[in-house]
Structure 1
């Protein structure tokens, strides 16, 4: 396994901003990601939009100086615990680096950061079409701890 490290992205660093878009696009071109690169009118707004969103952060996985994975995260609040939480909106590892524990490292890094922020939990969602990711999430303890089956639904506006 390569020597992998993790760190929080700097949204003001153009190399970090480009790496975020590149890693998201590496997922987007896969069948469970929609099979297409994000249009420039969207990809050019990702990092500025995150930078403008309070509580947004990205955790990178690095192989030396090369970013090989990212967890795109947003802070929220849970009324049932009256505490902040972190939602992992996207988690992606470059295809050549999968199966090496990098996804697990990213999840652990996000959890450590969430604890430092006083968060009580980390949430995420996974598409049915992505059983490999679901297997990872279940293996490291994500699931329905209160016994309620959870599905995330959305409505485009």
Structure 2
């Protein structure tokens, strides 16, 4: 499948918040996690474009139509002593898949990571998502054997923050 001629990648702006939320909801549906999507436009606007932005977004458009996005932020490697770039979400709408948009977004972020002096470009993928895993392997990514993702959220986060770990 050849790519359409009008593929554009651009940094998101505050005006894109409704579209970013739509992408997030579509991704939640795809990942079978729609019930976990609680973000709203106000929260996203503040988190992405407020006084202290926590992440950045690149939007892919095809002939002006929103086709996909990548949401990312910086982390830090103490071992490297350098920042890293962490991809939180990559999503391309089904009707736009197969045109190289995902690859273009990943290439864009890899270049951005190098320009910003990052030592790593990392992300997580659901273990059942074989198409995504094949895509990432084709880009040269390797799985991190021996590592598991840990998370504290909701009530457990509040308990930890107050010192009430009740183990």
Conserved 8 A contact 1:25-1:37: no
Contact kept in structure 1, 2:76 and 2:84, CA below 8 Å: yes
Written as runs of structure 1 = structure 2, the 5 A alignment for 1:89-128 is 89-128=88-127
Measured after TM superposition, the shift of residue 93 of structure 1 is 0.6
Does structure 2 retain, via aligned residues, the 8 Å contact 1:29–1:37?
A: no
What runs of 5+ residues in structure 1 fail to find an aligned partner?
Answer: none
SS in 2 for 1:90: strand
SS of residue paired to 2:88 = strand
Partner of 1:7: 10
Length-normalised TM-score, structure 1: 0.84
Q: Which runs of 5+ in 2 are unaligned?
A: 158-167
Which residue is equivalent to 1:26?
Answer: 26
Q: How many residues align?
A: 149
Decide whether aligned partners of structure 1 residues 67 and 36 sit closer, same or farther in structure 2, where only a CA change above 3 A counts: same
Structure index of larger Rg: 2
> Residues 35-75 of structure 1: CA distance to partner in whole angstroms, max 9, x if unpaired?
45834xx2221232122444621111110212211110011
Inter-partner Cα distance in structure 1 for 2:152 and 2:86: 18
For 1:139 and 1:151, how far apart are their aligned partners in 2? 22
